[in-house]
């Protein structure tokens, strides 16, 4: 059964958030107070003050509720999703899947151009019906009712969701975890999925560590990506280790402290937006960043999102079956995917390297992402 859903956060919950922000106890700044040790106190304190005095959740809530939303239970889990139909009779169904630390908020600027391209400088023939689910354990699809929500299980759930919506021929798109899930949908429902579009690539990225002889065979741009993978493993991997091994312990701090939740997410937005030296709220609208954080805070899903996102039980080094479904990879400047490794598991028919943009393509480069989606699926319709 599919039920209509409307976001309606009690005022008492918002009042509690205000009280917590007003009484927040920030740590002393470490020497230098820069991003090398995490979110700087000087910057984060400004974000906290804006969250408390300038941000309007009710406006964000209304914006979200302007789009039709629903819930349904699949494999014992409540799944929340947006379902926005195009007025164009030949529109193609398209499922968009977010990643961590993102949410359905990532795609708000894509909905109009994808469902009504003619009103946004495009062609009516490129119209899509858009389905945007919240990953299990994330936001209003949380918390999880049981374990084992791997990307392949989510892929099966997404295929079932599209079946319930009556779509027997559809497209999928995603970034981060959403890219992996989208590829899995292609594997489990290849008879109905016409194409898989990803930003950042559907994986695998590259072997780590990479033998020197293999590294020497790569192009300069690929060698740069390997260097950035190595830097990530040395400098940034800590959050993966924590979320994949101690998500429950982490959740106590993030679910109880809005400042802690904000800092945990903003640290990643700074590291993964492009250019890295630019503050994240100079790249992505500050209100949009906070709305994304609010979906974690209001639903108390920091722990389940971490658990689902990084407590995956897939065997290491085992190559997945290639679905044969045409697959596109839009690789922005921050991304590190290398084609020869991605092609081990995916049928790449479109590979586009772009010298700008970061990990959050839908938030940072919505026009670019929309254009690439339209072009890729144009010949597959």
Main-chain dihedrals φ then ψ at residue 141, nearest 5 degrees? -95, 10
In this structure, the strands spanning 170-175 and 193-199 are parallel
Nearest CA to 38 among 49, 50, 27?
A: 27
Helix (H) or strand (E) holding 270: helix 258-272
User: Hey, is 39 helix, strand or coil?
Assistant: coil
H/E segment holding residue 375: helix 366-378
Q: How, if at all, do strands 2-5 and 92-97 pair?
A: unpaired
**pLDDT attached to residue 70:** 99
Does residue 222 lie in a domain region? no
Residue 165 structural domain: 2-204+236-378
The CA R_g of the chain, rounded to the nearest whole Å, is: 20
> Which CATH number do you get for residue 151?
3.40.50.1820
Q: What is the pTM of this model?
A: 0.97
Q: Assess if residue 212 is contained within a domain.
A: no
DSSP 325: -
Of the candidates 341, 300, 241, 288, the one whose C-alpha atom is nearest the C-alpha of residue 50 is: 288
Specify if 215 maps to a domain. Answer: no
Angle at 140 between CA 6 and CA 47, to 5 degrees: 95
Q: How many domains does the chain have?
A: 1
pLDDT of residue 245: 92
| pLDDT score, position 145 | 84
In a domain, 120, yes or no: yes
Helix axes 11-22, 41-53, angle to 10 degrees: 150
Residue 213 counted as domain residue? no
- Assess contact for 291 and 285: CB atoms under 8 A: no
Q: For residue 291, report the phi and psi dihedrals to the nearest 5 degrees.
A: -65, -40
pLDDT of residue 242: 94
> What pLDDT score was predicted for residue 310?
79
In this structure, what token pair is assigned to residue 237?
Answer: 């991997």
Is 348 a member of any domain? yes
Is residue 226 included in any domain, yes or no?
no
| Residue 210 lies inside a defined structural domain of this protein | no
Can you tell me the distance from the alpha carbon of 202 to that of 182, in angstroms, rounded to the nearest whole number?
8
- Could you say which residues of the chain have pLDDT below 70? 311-317
Q: For the CA atoms of 119, 121, 127, 133, what is the dihedral angle to 10 degrees?
A: -80
């Amino acid at each position: 059964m599919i039920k209509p859903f409307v976001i309606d956060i009690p005022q008492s919950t918002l009042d509690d958030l205000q009280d917590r922000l007003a009484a927040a106890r920030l740590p002393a700044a470490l020497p230098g107070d820069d991003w090398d040790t995490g979110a700087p106190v000087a910057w984060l304190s400004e974000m906290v003050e804006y969250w408390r005095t300038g941000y309007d959740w009710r406006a964000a809530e209304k914006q979200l509720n302007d789009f039709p939303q629903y819930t349904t239970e699949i494999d014992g889990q409540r799944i929340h999703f947006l379902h926005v139909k195009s007025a164009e009779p030949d529109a193609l169904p398209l499922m968009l899947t977010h990643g961590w630390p993102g949410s359905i908020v990532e795609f708000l600027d894509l909905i109009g151009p994808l469902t009504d391209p003619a009103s946004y400088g495009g062609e009516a023939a490129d119209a899509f019906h858009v389905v945007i689910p919240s990953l299990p354990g994330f936001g209003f699809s949380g918390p999880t009712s049981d374990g084992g929500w791997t990307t392949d299980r989510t892929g099966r759930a997404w295929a079932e969701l599209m079946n319930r919506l009556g779509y027997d021929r559809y497209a999928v798109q995603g970034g981060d975890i959403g890219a992996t899930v989208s590829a899995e949908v292609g594997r489990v429902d290849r008879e109905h999925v016409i194409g898989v579009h990803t930003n950042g690539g559907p994986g695998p990225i590259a072997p780590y560590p990479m033998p020197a002889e293999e590294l020497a065979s790569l192009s300069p741009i690929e060698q740069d990506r390997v260097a950035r993978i190595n830097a990530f493993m040395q400098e940034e991997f800590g959050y993966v280790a924590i979320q994949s091994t101690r998500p429950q312990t982490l959740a106590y701090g993030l679910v109880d402290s809005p400042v802690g939740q904000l800092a945990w997410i903003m640290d990643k937005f700074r590291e993964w937006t492009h250019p890295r030296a630019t503050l994240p709220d100079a790249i992505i609208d500050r209100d949009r960043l906070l709305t994304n954080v609010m979906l974690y805070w209001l639903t108390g899903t920091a722990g389940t999102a971490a658990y689902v996102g990084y407590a995956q039980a897939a065997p290491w080094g085992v190559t997945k079956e290639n679905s044969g479904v045409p697959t596109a990879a839009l690789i922005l400047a921050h991304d590190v995917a290398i084609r020869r490794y991605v092609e081990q598991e995916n049928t790449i028919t479109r590979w586009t390297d772009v010298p700008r943009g970061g990990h959050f393509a839908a938030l940072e480069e919505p026009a670019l992402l929309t254009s690439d989606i339209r072009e890729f699926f144009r010949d597959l319709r």
